[in-house]
Amino acid sequence: MRVIKIRKASDCREQDVTPEAIYRQRRAFMKGSMLGAGLLLGSSPLQAALNITGYREKVVTVDEEITPFKDATRYNNFYEFGTGKSDPARNAGEFDTSDWKVTVSGECAKPGVLSLEDLIDNKDLEERIYRLRCVEAWSMVIPWIGVPLATLLKRFEPTSKAKYVAFRTLVDPERMPGQKRAVLDWPYREGLRIDEAMHPLTLIAVGMYGKPMPNQNGAPLRLVVPWKYGFKSIKSIVAIEFTEQQPQTTWNMQNPREYGFYSNVNPKVSHPRWSQARERRIGEFFKRKTLMFNGYEDEVASLYAGMDLKKYF
């Protein structure tokens, strides 16, 4: 079993290196994969206002080759822009994320409607290299830029009744043409137990590869929960709600036999229609073994101590 270490800021050797220098190195490493990046990026004034270059290089949990930018931005799941893997790259280009608002409500002392800049404090931004493993048995390694969800949630002072956190994506069929069809029961919904939400690995990402979040990857802000199947990592979030009851989640509503609330990456629990024991890293040919909790077992297994993960899949 591969051991994943979360580096503390104090251990970080790259701490004194500028992001630009890091990206020059990585760009060479990624063999030209950044070509054309400028065309794909969202460029709203609000995203620019998030000083995305000022983040701290901090947490590296994966010692594996970073997925080329072009693969991570051209092979996506984002049903609001179509159900095909290349639909989001094709259809999300015009998506206007300026003036974005996020409503925070429910079991907390300080609910509110916040702009992106009010929600995300530049000084909290970090780069975190995480794997993301789709339930469809492909995976990728992405340098995300974001804020730990816990940092963000604590400001709203959740009450003792806040047992879960529910998330919702924007509903606007004019801007998200995939919503003109009822392929899912819009809005896309996701949820986490409060301890999962507060776990230090759980990230609200506003960028990747040193740039603002591309539209097809969930601009302007999305969740990244690296030990769960990709569908938990909800994109283009407009609402966060602290709840007492377990919230409804899109894929569980759609097909409860195939998709549970927890959806932890687990090679021992097959999807009813395919095995979860192996995965294909996008851009690669040969499959590799899927690791328990996507390789984050040391960090997160304690969250599920005593739970039957075949029952709570």
Ligand X SMILES: Nc1nc2c(c(=O)[nH]1)N[C@H]1C(S)=C(S)[C@@H](COP(=O)(O)O)O[C@H]1N2
Task: Summarize as ranges the residues that interact with Mo ion (CB under 5 A).
Answer: 77, 134-135, 230-231
294 touches ligand X (CB under 6 A)? no
Number of H helices, E strands in the chain: 10, 13
Which tokens belong to 72? 């991570």
Does a cis peptide bond (omega within 30 degrees of 0) precede residue 187?
Answer: yes
Closest CA to 133 of 214, 215, 232: 232
293 touches ligand X (CB under 6 A)? no
In this structure, are residues 14 and 129 in contact, taking their beta carbons and an 8 Å threshold? no
3-state SS class at 312: coil
16-24, 38-46, 74-82, 119-127 -> range binding ligand X (CB under 6 A): 74-82
In this structure, are residues 81 and 45 in contact, taking their beta carbons and an 8 Å threshold? no
Which tokens belong to 140? 């990728």
In this structure, are residues 226 and 239 in contact, taking their beta carbons and an 8 Å threshold? no
Whichever of 60 and 134 has its CB closer to Mo ion, that residue is 134
Whichever of 7 and 271 has its CB closer to Mo ion, that residue is 271
26-34, 62-70, 231-239, 273-281 -> range binding ligand X (CB under 6 A): 231-239
Which tokens belong to 216? 């097809």
How many whole angstroms separate alpha carbon 268 and alpha carbon 275?
Answer: 8
247 touches ligand X (CB under 6 A)? no
Q: In sequence order, what are the residues at sequence separation of 6 or more whose Cβ sits closer than 8 angstroms to the Cβ of residue 297?
A: 1, 227, 291
- The minimum distance between CB 202 and Mo ion, in angstroms, equals 17
- The minimum distance between CB 138 and Mo ion, in angstroms, equals 8
Number of residues that bind ligand X (CB under 6 A): 17
Which tokens belong to 113? 């409607």
Whichever of 169 and 252 has its CB closer to ligand X, that residue is 169
Query: Residue of minimal CB distance from ligand X?
Result: 230
Which tokens belong to 214? 């591309």
Whichever of 101 and 280 has its CB closer to Mo ion, that residue is 280
Distances (CA, A) of 52 to 7, 49, 192, 210: 21, 8, 27, 7
Name which of ligand X, Mo ion, none residue 176 binds, using a CB cut-off of 5 to 8 Å depending on partner kind.
Answer: none
- The minimum distance between CB 70 and ligand X, in angstroms, equals 13
In this structure, are residues 169 and 188 in contact, taking their beta carbons and an 8 Å threshold? yes
Whichever of 60 and 89 has its CB closer to ligand X, that residue is 89
100 touches ligand X (CB under 6 A)? no
Name which of Mo ion, ligand X, none residue 143 binds, using a CB cut-off of 5 to 8 Å depending on partner kind.
Answer: none
212 touches ligand X (CB under 6 A)? no
Which tokens belong to 228? 């769960």
Return the residue of 23, 55, 78, 313 that touches ligand X, per CB under 6 A: 78
Alpha carbon 153 to its chain centroid, in Å, reads 16
Whichever of 146 and 230 has its CB closer to ligand X, that residue is 230
Name which of Mo ion, ligand X, none residue 192 binds, using a CB cut-off of 5 to 8 Å depending on partner kind.
Answer: none
186 touches ligand X (CB under 6 A)? no
Which tokens belong to 263? 């959806």
91 touches ligand X (CB under 6 A)? no
Query: Residue 102 CB: number of other CB atoms within 10 A?
Result: 22
Whichever of 215 and 250 has its CB closer to Mo ion, that residue is 250
- The minimum distance between CB 158 and ligand X, in angstroms, equals 23
Q: Which residues bind ligand X (CB under 6 A)?
A: 76-80, 132, 134, 169, 188, 217-218, 230-231, 233-236
